[in-house]
Amino acid sequence: MSNRYDGNFIEAGRQYALDWRLLKAIARQESNFDPNAINPADPSYGLMQVSLSTARALGYTGHPEGLLAPAVGIEWGAKALADIARRHRTVDAQLAVYNGGERGGVPRAWLADAEPVYRERVRGYVERVLSFYRGYQAAHPLTPPSTPAPVPRPVPVPRPGAPAVTAGGAPGVGRALAVVLILGVVAFFIWRALAR
């Protein structure tokens, strides 16, 4: 299930704090990984089918066909999804907005006045992307970042004439703790004897 754009998805996911596998699932649904895909309706471009109006709203100043470059299209698609994710916590809401827009902070397809055909189209889109996403999650489980082996701490070597370092870390701390503990036990037994 790997493809030549995985590195771009991973980088964009890292840059925008998104799961790269979700970006990949969106690209599969939007363009079936065709970087030259153009939808003249909005118009939308490239792997992620980023609409020119969305890209412009997010600060894109390049030529529309610039979004056909895989790295550029993936980056701006990720930027658009990250912008949506700031307003919508659930993945299904994020996908509904990515595909169908929003009105009043609500995915347009979820509004009471949404046309049933439109609502079904967006629902189908969300289900397909989530299905691809689950497949990519299974194929590419996230592994925790590798942690370096612990660096052994140097063993202190006492200098001649220096006070001994005890388990407590400072000279004489172990002895002092033992005295306090013994005094506490003695005090407890004296208190108990007097309390009778």
Please check whether residue 57 lies inside any domain of the structure. Answer: yes
Total Cβ atoms within 10 A of residue 123:
16
Phi, psi of 164 (to 5 degrees): -70, 140
Structure tokens at 167: 């388990």
Query: Rounded to an integer, what distance in angstroms lies between the CA atom of residue 36 and that of residue 30?
Result: 12
Please check whether residue 126 lies inside any domain of the structure. Answer: yes
Structure tokens at 154: 């140097």
pLDDT in tens, 112-125: 999 999 999 999 99
Query: Rounded to an integer, what distance in angstroms lies between the CA atom of residue 174 and that of residue 178?
Result: 6
pLDDT in tens, 60-91: 999 999 999 999 999 999 999 999 999 999 99
Please check whether residue 184 lies inside any domain of the structure. Answer: no
As a whole-number percent, the residues of the chain with pLDDT over 90 amount to: 67
Please check whether residue 37 lies inside any domain of the structure. Answer: yes
Please check whether residue 163 lies inside any domain of the structure. Answer: no
Q: Which residue has tokens 């036990």?
A: 185
Please check whether residue 144 lies inside any domain of the structure. Answer: no
pLDDT in tens, 5-53: 999 999 999 999 999 999 999 999 999 999 999 999 889 999 999 999 9
Q: Is the pLDDT of residue 144 over 90?
A: no
Number of domains making up the chain: 1
The domain that contains 108 carries what CATH number?
A: 1.10.530.10
Which structural domain range is residue 12 located in? 6-139
Please check whether residue 159 lies inside any domain of the structure. Answer: no
Q: What is the pLDDT of residue 168?
A: 47
Please check whether residue 190 lies inside any domain of the structure. Answer: no
